[in-house]
């Protein structure tokens, strides 16, 4: 079995962002030379997500509105923020949107559904954050 490991770095200009990272993951798969296996992509921070969905700007606005209803930003709303932090909402948003995506690798390509794309979801940006790509297979 072969494996490949790569880290993507992000420092988004805004606090919140959805970035389509499918091209970066495909590039790492190409470089790995692995043709059959699995590709794991996970956020390495507890206030950001990796998830798979449609690359459609209206949907991304819908996600943002929905997340803000479920876990609104607010320094005085959460126990976690009593520690002096202000990012309790980002922890909750991360949990809702998920930590990782696992995609099958078939004939050297990410075996995604017709509209599936891999996204990095940032909920507490404006600082350096990492995403792990781990590909295993033959
Ligand atoms: Zn925190």
Residue pLDDT tens, the chain, 138 long: 999 999 999 999 999 999 999 999 999 999 999 999 999 999 999 999 999 999 999 999 999 999 999 999 998 999 999 999 999 999 999 999 999 999 999 999 999 999 999 999 999 999 999 999 999 999
Ligand 1 center to residue 84 CA distance, Å?
A: 9
Ligand 1 center to residue 111 CA distance, Å?
A: 35
Distances (CA, A) of 66 to 4, 14, 71: 36, 18, 9
Q: Does domain 2-137 have CATH number 3.30.420.40?
A: no
Q: Where are any strands of DSSP class E within 1-138? A: 2-10, 17-20, 37-43, 48-53, 100-106, 109-110, 117-122, 129-137
Is the entire prediction scored with pTM above 0.75?
yes
Ligand 1 center to residue 24 CA distance, Å?
A: 28
pLDDT of residue 75: 85
Distances (CA, A) of 55 to 30, 52, 67, 111, 128: 22, 9, 17, 17, 24
Q: What are the residue ranges spanned by the domains of the chain?
A: 2-137
pLDDT of residue 104: 98
8 Å CB contact between 109 and 137: no
């Amino acid at each position: 079995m072969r494996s490949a490991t790569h880290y993507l770095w992000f420092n988004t200009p805004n606090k919140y962002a959805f970035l389509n990272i499918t091209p970066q993951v495909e590039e790492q798969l190409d470089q790995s030379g692995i043709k059959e296996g699995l590709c794991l992509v996970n956020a390495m921070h507890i206030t950001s997500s990796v998830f798979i969905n449609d690359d459609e700007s209206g949907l991304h606005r819908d996600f943002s509105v929905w997340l803000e209803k479920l876990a609104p930003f607010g320094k005085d709303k959460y126990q976690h923020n009593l520690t002096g932090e202000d990012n309790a909402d980002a922890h909750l948003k991360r949990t809702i949107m998920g930590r990782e995506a696992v995609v099958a690798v078939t004939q050297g390509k990410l075996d995604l559904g017709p509209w599936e794309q891999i996204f990095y979801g940032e909920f507490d940006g404006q600082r350096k954050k990492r995403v792990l790509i781990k590909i295993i297979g033959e």
